[in-house]
Amino acid sequence: MPEMMEIYKKHASEYDELVRAEDYRGHLRSFLRQTIDWNGKIICEAGIGTGRVTRFYIDLARRVYGFDRELHMLDRCRRNLSDYRDKLVLETGLNEKQISIPEPADIFVEGWSFGHTISERHHEIVSFLPALLNRVQSLLRRTGTIILIETLGTNVSYPVPPTKELVDFYRLLEERHGFQRHVIETDYRFGSRDEAARVMGFFFGDEMRYSVKSGGQSIILEYTGVWIKRLSKGDKNGHQRVDHSDAV
């Protein structure tokens, strides 16, 4: 099995095979479409990958600026979303570095990307996370929306962050930075137990492969967290306030 970062560098096809089986009931797409107004909006998406999340909203958006650390993933994204090439701008970019777009975005979204970055920088999370969120906020209109999509466990019976690093990340988002968490069931469905073991094992490792195969299931339970923060115009000193209403 390749290392996680090697998958992103060289195995976009296998990654696509995994995510095609994910969320077979469409819960995440439905939640995002019902909760967020994407119509005519300018979107900035970090860690866009092969367009996994982008597919949920790009038909409604006016323009999408997508960034990923791996050109290999962007090439696949460009093919996957070729029907929307007129509204899609793709560039390489790291979460750790300031990215720029030529116009302010209405919505910033990332999926399963910040979690990797935070885990790599966990030793400095208390200072690094505010700096990361400030860079995100600088890309947005003053009434913009930030959407962070991260894992709450795969092949588990209840939602739980799979690592201590993610426990700390999610706690800080909610307790210090004003994000609201929503828990979504995003179960995988495969054609057979063997297919499930092969695909899941390639991405998550031998322990996952064995667990899936011994469990004898072609449906693999998963939970995904969506953290949302809506910005207001702020007070006269320029400080941002969080709006906890249900619509963008």
Beta-bridge partners for 135: none
Res 9: pLDDT? 62
Show the CA angle centred on residue 185, arms to residues 82 and 112, nearest 5°. Answer: 50
> pLDDT of 27-80, one tens digit each?
999 999 999 999 999 999 999 999 999 999 999 999 999 999 999 999 999 999
pLDDT score of 56: 98
Residues 119 and 83: their CA atoms lie apart, in Å, by 35
Which tokens belong to 183?
């828990």
Q: Please, are residues 76 and 18 in contact by the beta-carbon 8 Å criterion?
A: no
Sorted by where each starts, the structural domains of the chain and their CATH numbers stand as 4-189+223-230 (3.40.50.150)
11-20, 94-103, 169-178, 204-213 — most confident range: 169-178
